[in-house]
A and B are shown apart, each in its own frame.
Chain A
Amino acid sequence: MRRLLGSHHGGLVLLVLAILLMPLGFPNSFYFDVAINVGIAAIVCIGLNLLIGYAGQISLGHAGFFGIGAYASAILTSTHGWPPLLALLAGILLSGGIAFAVARPILALKGHYLAMATLGLGIIISIVLSQEVALTGGPDGMPVDPLTLFGFEISGTWSWYWLVGGTLVLVTWLALNLVDSPIGRALRAVHSSEIAARVCGVDTTAYKVLVFVVSAVIASLAGSLFAHFSGWLTPDEADFLRSIQFVTMVVLGGMASTFGAIVGAALLTALPQFLTVFQNYEHVMLGLVMVLTMIFMPRGLVPTLALRFFGDRS
């Protein structure tokens, strides 16, 4: 077990096993719905964790990129009749392009200033999405066509489950490889001391821009999937609270832990669905989770538990 969890591939195998075996315990399609939503949130969080956990750069606006992907898919397929895959790629290009354009000036900022800049960016995106009524349907939202891939329509919970599960595994695998590559080491160097990293010859700006764009693209991909899955899209999906939820998932699961991001996403997505207390007091619970995690478990769930059970090797 220890060796399995310790190595990255072991973790990946566990993830695949969990995705394969979980449906055996699902009594009805509601559980599939929750699992699919968990998967979508987890995809965003894995990307966001590369930025927050590994590179140490906060973003309070990632729901904006999620929203761009979602609305690109919704508008291009439903209004303009594009094939969904092309629309998804267009969303990725748009998110990646915006992220690339703003990354240099924004990521030159630190701490509170960076938080404020990303927050401002996210809010501007969400305001545009809710005000361009002719394009997006405004606050009431808009319908989204079902997803078709290579002529097959993805419908029904089973096919969505496998699609999202497969994407999650793929994104996890990419993230693990990225973290283990020279890029990953450079990012961690940026996290511990940007100036020391620069002195050692790491082009810190280039790496920060790269990871920002990668995380935006991943969020956009998840947004596109979400739009097709839910069939109805509102600007709430891109708003400030959604950005905060993503950050909370990353922090709760554990910064700089890819599997932590998945656990965080799973807990914060599934708990409100299953516990009515959580549903009625959503704000209170979310706030409490954020404050208590940072005070008592600043490293997050997965790294803290890993430390307790397996010694210092998370």
Chain B
Amino acid sequence: MTEFFQFLFSGLTVGAIYALIALGFSLIYNASHLINFAQGEFVMIGGMATVFFAAAGIELPLAAVLAVLLAVVVAVAIERLGIAPAKGTSAVGLIIITIGAAILIRGLAGIVWDRNFHSLPPISGEEPLVIMGATLLPQSLWIFGVTAVIALLLWFFFAKTLWGKAMMATAYNPLAAQLVGIDTRKVVLVSFALAGALGALAGVLITPLAPTHFQVGVMLGLKGFAAAIVGGLGSGLGAIVGGLVIGIAEAMAAGYLSSAYKDAVAFVIILLFLVLWPSGLFGLRGIERV
């Protein structure tokens, strides 16, 4: 049983990180029906920028804030310089643009920073808690807490604020949203900014547990995307549940089956979901008009 709880804790921890990344995918998907394959790079920026700002003598909390801001700037730049000028490009074209942006950012990170692994100190010590015989690091609690707070904030934002409602309206029907005076261009921009911030936050939080590297965004991004699809693209609750499902499945498979195939688990799940249940756990079934 101890073993089980140990795997569960580690699954929930990565799962919460996947959830934050998946929320970014869903935000952008809602605003523009676009999959931003550069989402994982925001996570990398969050970790790497914090490390290098801290190395430059900036205090850690401020370094983390600056890293998140940097990711927001990069996200906005992707939208303004990559997505907006390519208006009218096919879905395949947009996928290629965001993948290109991701590779570009990764390359720049490898040049501007470096190609080594880096870690950060945990937020509140390394003294683990023991629950049911399994250990839980305080950093995991921070990750759970921050993910929960973010989920509540996003719920409040979308349900209670005018901006949030404007974004929901754009998600349902961009043309109708424009007709009632919503600036959908701004909505898309805000969704990119928010997705950048969420990704970078995930990067800041996970770096003490899993070292960061200029290529760390590839897998994290893809697994976040897998989480978003499992939960149902565009659904906030789905993103969180999907993240936890993928995280736990991965940890259990690594623990009980084979750690070598840990990374394959998310992709097997995603293939099964895509084939059997493409709308995901909480997604709306899409109806295509001809």
Interface residues in chain A, defined as those with a beta carbon under 8 Å from any beta carbon in chain B? 52, 56, 58, 60, 105-106, 109, 111-113, 115-117, 119-121, 123-124, 127-128, 131, 193, 195-196, 240-241, 244, 247-248, 251, 281-291, 294-295, 298
Among B89, B99, B100, B267, the residue within 8 A (CB) of A124 is B267
- B68-86 Cβ-contact flags toward A at 8 Å (1 or 0): 0000000000000010011
Q: Bound complex: CA of A128 vs CA of B260, how far in Å?
A: 9
B95:A58 contact, CB within 8 angstroms:
yes
- Contacts of B225 on A, CB cut-off 8 Å? 116
24 cross-chain CB contacts under 8 A: A60-B99, A105-B274, A106-B271, A106-B274, A112-B35, A112-B91, A115-B92, A117-B271, A196-B290, A244-B99, A244-B103, A281-B111, A285-B107, A286-B100, A286-B103, A286-B107, A287-B102, A287-B104, A287-B106, A289-B100, A290-B99, A291-B101, A294-B86, A294-B93
B105:A287 contact, CB within 8 angstroms:
yes
Among A52, A116, A294, the residue within 8 A (CB) of B89 is A294
Question: B278 interface residue, CB < 8 Å from A?
Answer: yes
- How distant is A276 from chain B, measured CB to nearest CB, in Å? 14
B103:A120 contact, CB within 8 angstroms:
no
B104:A291 contact, CB within 8 angstroms:
yes
Question: B261 interface residue, CB < 8 Å from A?
Answer: yes
Among B96, B99, B226, B261, the residue within 8 A (CB) of A127 is B261
Question: B110 interface residue, CB < 8 Å from A?
Answer: yes
A284:B111 contact, CB within 8 angstroms:
yes
Question: Interface size class for chain B?
Answer: 35 or more
- Contacts of A56 on B, CB cut-off 8 Å? 92
Q: Bound complex: CA of A199 vs CA of B49, how far in Å?
A: 54
A56 nearest in chain B by CB position: B92
- Contacts of B89 on A, CB cut-off 8 Å? 294-295, 298
A283:B107 contact, CB within 8 angstroms:
yes
A295:B271 contact, CB within 8 angstroms:
no
Q: Bound complex: CA of A202 vs CA of B179, how far in Å?
A: 39
- Contacts of B58 on A, CB cut-off 8 Å? none
Quick one: given A58-B92, A116-B225, A283-B103, are A124 and B111 in contact (CB under 8 Å)? Answer: no
A287 nearest in chain B by CB position: B104
Question: B108 interface residue, CB < 8 Å from A?
Answer: yes
Among A117, A123, A131, A291, the residue within 8 A (CB) of B100 is A291
The A interface is mostly helix, strand or loop, or mixed, namely helix
Question: B264 interface residue, CB < 8 Å from A?
Answer: yes
B229:A115 contact, CB within 8 angstroms:
no
A123:B229 contact, CB within 8 angstroms:
no
- Contacts of A251 on B, CB cut-off 8 Å? 93, 96
- B198-238 Cβ-contact flags toward A at 8 Å (1 or 0): 00000000000000000000100010011001000100000
A123:B264 contact, CB within 8 angstroms:
yes
Q: Bound complex: CA of A123 vs CA of B92, how far in Å?
A: 19
Question: B263 interface residue, CB < 8 Å from A?
Answer: yes
Question: B275 interface residue, CB < 8 Å from A?
Answer: yes
- Contacts of A131 on B, CB cut-off 8 Å? 260-261
Question: B20 interface residue, CB < 8 Å from A?
Answer: no
Q: Bound complex: CA of A123 vs CA of B267, how far in Å?
A: 8
A102 nearest in chain B by CB position: B271
A295:B97 contact, CB within 8 angstroms:
yes
- How distant is B56 from chain A, measured CB to nearest CB, in Å? 23
- Contacts of A193 on B, CB cut-off 8 Å? 290
The CB with the most chain B CB atoms within 10 A, among A106, A116, A282, is that of A116
Question: B268 interface residue, CB < 8 Å from A?
Answer: yes
B105 nearest in chain A by CB position: A287
A111:B91 contact, CB within 8 angstroms:
yes
Q: Bound complex: CA of A169 vs CA of B93, how far in Å?
A: 29
Question: B270 interface residue, CB < 8 Å from A?
Answer: yes
A287:B267 contact, CB within 8 angstroms:
no
A283 nearest in chain B by CB position: B107
Among B97, B105, B106, the residue within 8 A (CB) of A294 is B97
Q: Bound complex: CA of A298 vs CA of B86, how far in Å?
A: 9
